[in-house]
Amino acid sequence: MNIALVGSSSLLSRCLIKDLSSEYITTYGRQNADIIFDAENIETEIIESLFDLDYDVYVFNLGYLQPKRIKDQSSSNIIKSLSINALFTIKSCEYIFDNNPKARIFIIGSESGKKGSFDTSYFLAKSMLRSYTKERKLSFEDQQLLLVSPSTIEDGKMTSSRSDTETLETYKQIHPKRRFLDSSEVSQLLFDLIKNPSTYLCNTEIELNGGKFSRMSY
């Protein structure tokens, strides 16, 4: 299997590279990757020059979280967030789906796309990925589009760089599983989805949240 892995520096991507070690993986990143790119640049010609059309699988794992409310974010930072967290991925998918009839695309979303975030730009961008995944009708029967949306990943950089450790500890205690995810657990789910040859699971969001949004109790 030929796989393009976009956002290769994240721990989740590094776990996936390990899990998929028997496959041929091309890494995309800002540095130390096979293909160097910047997701802030969403010009069509740039995106079209980045992606070969003979990959079987494309994984988009990009994230940019700001420790500021949207009202305190500059317009350029809001646009940066929308580009990195959604528009780069969506424009790339459009190009790939139009030109690669066997493309299977897996995008990393977030529970924030459903429930919101301290950073509204991040929430809105991740919610764009949800709408896109659900509504983008695919033209070829072998194509696949899935959004995998984890809740807090304890060892992910976006969590480990947070300073509100007490708040995180409180969230953990009230979580039904009394723990957060780790990157290898998310990677294992992606591995299972990629290795499953069926593409019937399509245009849907897989929420990996341990049941934290269920409300009815007895």
Ligand X SMILES: NC(=O)c1ccc[n+]([C@@H]2O[C@H](COP(=O)([O-])OP(=O)(O)OC[C@H]3O[C@@H](n4cnc5c(N)ncnc54)[C@H](OP(=O)(O)O)[C@@H]3O)[C@@H](O)[C@H]2O)c1
38 binds ligand X (CB under 6 A): yes
110 part of the interface to ligand X, by CB under 6 A? yes
Tell me which DSSP letter residue 211 carries.
T
Does 63 bind ligand X (CB under 6 A)? Our answer is yes
CB of 152 within 8 A of CB of 159?
Answer: yes
At its nearest, how many Å lie between ligand X and the CB of residue 137? Answer: 24
> Measured from the CB atom, is 84 or 103 closer to ligand X?
84
Under the binding rule (CB under 6 A), the answer on residue 113 touching ligand X is no
Give the rounded distance of the alpha carbon of 54 from its chain centre. Answer: 21
Nearer to ligand X, 11 or 79 (CB): 11
The answer to whether 158 contacts ligand X (rule: CB under 6 A) is yes
For strands 35-36 and 2-6, give the pairing: unpaired
DSSP lists the bridge partners of residue 106 as 59, 146
**Binders in 10-29 for ligand X, by CB under 6 A:** 10-12, 29
78 contributes a contact to ligand X by CB under 6 A: no
Minimum CB separation of residue 197 from ligand X in Å reads 25
Pick the closer one to ligand X by CB: 55 or 180: 180
Picking from 191, 173, 168, the residue whose alpha carbon sits closest to that of residue 106 is: 191
- The residues that touch ligand X, with contacts defined as CB under 6 A, are 7, 9-12, 29-30, 38-40, 61-64, 84, 108, 110, 150, 152-153, 156-159
